[in-house]
Structure 1
Amino acid sequence: MFRKSLMQFESQMDIAAKMLGIDPVEIRRINGYCANNYTATGQELENQLAYLDTLPSLKTEYQRANEEIAKHGKNDIVKKGVGVASMWFGPGKTGLADQSEVS
């Protein structure tokens, strides 16, 4: 994914989490791949991915950073915030299944 589209995707994940009343890290855990899941392209993930293992430390750091920002109060001129971005990249079978035939 290109950086700009990834930023927009992650922003949408944060908006969805807010609308659902859940933590931004939690929505990423819910949607994270794990062993025996299938990707959108039909690839079966046979092994556990480390992606879900990274989220507890991400959540701790996210909470700490938000607490640090809150200490400084709101400012109408300079805006500060904390973002979450977390992704899994699976090279290989990333497109549609090959339907070509040789005759």
Structure 2
Amino acid sequence: MWWKIAMASIFMMMVFFVIGLFVGGGVYLLLIGGSFGQVTLTTLIESGAFSLTDRQKIFLPWAWCVTVALTFLPLGLTLFVLLLGKTPKKSLHGDARFANKKELNAFKYRGNYQ
């Protein structure tokens, strides 16, 4: 069972990485004044070719942060659900139960003489 969850989480991380590349590239283009319609899968990778003194390079790490956050979102949600579901269930009023006949015999009324 755990391997199914792990494989689903890895698959979703790959899907969200591709989505994150598009969204991160779009955020980068919006920050530098470009258009969201120019986004490709390699926008962030190709933008690393700028000179280190180029002003557009300032926004590149923030765009990669968006990509990384979206990539690890499925893993974080999976761990959150798994850890949330492990809490022990406690009853509202303790572990109360009805007494059986043997337990009630100890308190049986035997008259005023005892």
Give TM class, smaller chain. Answer: 0.3 to 0.5
Task: Kindly indicate whether structure 1 or structure 2 has the higher relative contact order, using CA contacts under 8 Å at least 6 residues apart.
Answer: 2
- TM-score if structure 1 supplies the norm length? 0.34
- TM-score if structure 2 supplies the norm length? 0.31
Larger Rg: 2
